[in-house]
Copies of this chain bind each other. A is one copy, B any other.
């Protein structure tokens, strides 16, 4: 269940006038439709950072760039992924050019498990780049 099921509530914030004016200007520049969404976005970002620190279940995308010509690489990366099939939700593959592939592995689990898998993939010969994009399962935000 997402936070969204619980219904809306209101609270009021006491804040410096100038600070609020700056915040409104920033929200306008970014096209944010309401002040409430702008505040809620900051709160959710902060909670997601917290989820990653405290080790609660998270969702994430592992983003890799590799040269598929090297080292039977596609095969080896598929093998590693199958060994972690419980962690992995899906994989998306892009042919960037003749040599380079971009692969996005979407995962759900504990931050330490996500980082363990990312380390394994990154350590594979031929993988040029591998990073973890932190996201959330949405269940608590």
Contact with B along A117-129 (1 / 0, CB 8 A): 0011011010011
Taking a contact as CB atoms under 8 Å apart, the answer to whether B30 and A123 are in contact is yes
Give the size range of A's interface with the partner.
35 or more
Query: Is the pair B26, A3 in contact by a Cβ cutoff of 8 Å?
Result: no
Closest B residue to A106 by CB, please name it: B94
Q: How far is the CA of A129 from the CA of B96 in the complex (A)?
A: 27
* Chain A residues within 8 Å of B, Cβ to Cβ: 1-20, 22-23, 26, 30-37, 39-48, 50, 59-61, 63-67, 69-70, 89-90, 92, 94, 96-102, 104, 106, 108, 119-120, 122-123, 125, 128-129, 131-141
Taking A3-B22, A32-B122 as known contacts, 14 extra A-B pairs with beta carbons closer than 8 A to each other, sorted by chain A number, are A1-B98, A3-B17, A8-B16, A11-B13, A12-B12, A13-B13, A14-B36, A19-B40, A19-B44, A32-B123, A90-B92, A102-B137, A102-B138, A131-B135
